[in-house]
């Protein structure tokens, strides 16, 4: 029996990324540009010209597979992902990869990400900086320690053995996404750990691959203290749900 070719899409969330987005698009390997069905950018109501720049890039580079959308109002990091994954489901894609528009995650690793997703038959695969040397790549020490602490707590509560819950380099099996009420997740940065909790709770397969860490001149919009508190709040909610103390449509 011949394996059906998978329909793959790359989703690029963008916010104030006029300086970095062209480079990110340039660095996507040609083999990936040929392989995927679509590369779509969703500009989260940037105040700069991110949206227009991406449209101009499509015309200049003749990249017909590139489509550009813009939220009329800022939906937040999580809200932007909700729109993207609903879009991927509607388009009946098999795989959707999230690649940040700020260049923090290397587009050159897309072939390995997709190969590993196929080899492991994972429902969710993400590139882990913690499997490498994140400090050498410029990760600030406070982010490194915070990442380690939160990941320890997440593994403890979820009974998993994942090196990092907080990487934004992710590939999803879209058919698995259909089983997850991700629309109930946070519209902010807490979306990422919440969706891992949902995947773990449904006993869907999660896998990792080591990726390099890169911190350049990009602007971070994450309030790390608030983010950490929100992660712990989600873990508490999940734990109380598992103990039968509360009901939760998000984790149910």
Per DSSP, the residues of 196-226 read HHHHHHTT--EEEEE------SPPP---HHH
* pLDDT at residue number 149: 96
Q: What is the pLDDT of residues 58-74, one digit of tens each?
A: 999 999 999 999 999 99
What CATH architecture does domain 8-242 belong to?
Alpha-Beta Complex (3.90)
Q: Single out the residue of 213, 211, 250, 215 nearest to residue 233, CA to CA.
A: 250
Taking the C-alpha atoms of residue 176 and residue 199, their distance in angstroms, rounded to an integer, is: 8
* pLDDT at residue number 218: 56
* pLDDT at residue number 173: 98
* pLDDT at residue number 219: 57
Q: Single out the residue of 188, 166, 172, 218 nearest to residue 21, CA to CA.
A: 218
Residue 85 has pLDDT above 50, yes or no: yes
Q: Single out the residue of 84, 86, 78, 14 nearest to residue 44, CA to CA.
A: 14
* pLDDT at residue number 252: 81
Q: What is the pLDDT of residues 186-233, one digit of tens each?
A: 999 999 999 999 999 999 999 999 998 887 665 567 788 999 999 999
Read off φ and ψ for residue 17, nearest 5 degrees.
Answer: -115, 35
* pLDDT at residue number 1: 39
10-25 average pLDDT score: 97
Least confident among 7-11, 38-42, 127-131 = 127-131
Q: Say whether 65 sits in a helix, a strand or coil.
A: coil
Q: What is the pLDDT of residues 140-179, one digit of tens each?
A: 999 999 999 999 999 999 999 999 999 999 999 999 999 9
* pLDDT at residue number 224: 87
- Residue spans of the domains in the chain: they are 8-242
Residue 236 has pLDDT above 50, yes or no: yes
User: Residue 4: which pLDDT band, with cuts at 50, 70 and 90?
Assistant: confident
Max intra-chain CA distance, the chain: 57
Q: What is the pLDDT of residues 88-126, one digit of tens each?
A: 999 999 999 999 999 999 999 999 999 999 999 999 999
* pLDDT at residue number 130: 94
Whole-prediction pTM: 0.93
Q: What is the DSSP letter of 10?
A: E
Q: Single out the residue of 99, 29, 91, 41 nearest to residue 66, CA to CA.
A: 41
Residue 87 has pLDDT above 50, yes or no: yes
């Amino acid at each position: 029996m011949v394996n059906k070719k998978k329909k793959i899409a790359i989703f690029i969330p963008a916010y104030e990324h006029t300086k970095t987005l062209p480079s990110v698009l340039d660095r996507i390997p040609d083999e990936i540009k040929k392989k995927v069905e679509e590369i779509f950018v969703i500009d989260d109501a940037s105040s700069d010209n991110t949206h227009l720049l991406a449209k101009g890039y499509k015309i200049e580079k003749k990249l017909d597979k590139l489509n550009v959308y813009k939220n009329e109002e800022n939906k937040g990091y999580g809200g932007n992902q909700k729109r993207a994954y609903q879009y991927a489901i509607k388009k009946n894609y098999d795989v959707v990869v999230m690649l940040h528009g700020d260049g923090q995650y290397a587009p050159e690793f897309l072939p390995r990400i997709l190969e590993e997703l196929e080899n492991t038959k994972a429902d969710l695969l993400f590139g882990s900086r913690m499997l490498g040397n994140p400090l050498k790549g410029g990760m600030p020490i406070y982010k490194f320690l915070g990442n380690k602490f939160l990941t320890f707590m997440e593994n403890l509560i979820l009974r998993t053995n994942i090196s990092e819950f907080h990487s934004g380099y992710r590939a999803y099996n879209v058919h698995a996404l259909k089983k997850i009420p991700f629309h109930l997740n946070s519209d902010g940065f807490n979306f990422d750990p919440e969706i891992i909790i949902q995947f773990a709770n449904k006993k869907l397969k999660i896998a990792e691959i080591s990726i390099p860490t890169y911190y350049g001149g990009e602007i971070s919009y994450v309030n790390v203290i608030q983010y950490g508190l929100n992660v712990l709040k989600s873990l508490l909610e999940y734990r109380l749900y598992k103990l039968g103390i509360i009901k939760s449509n998000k984790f149910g």
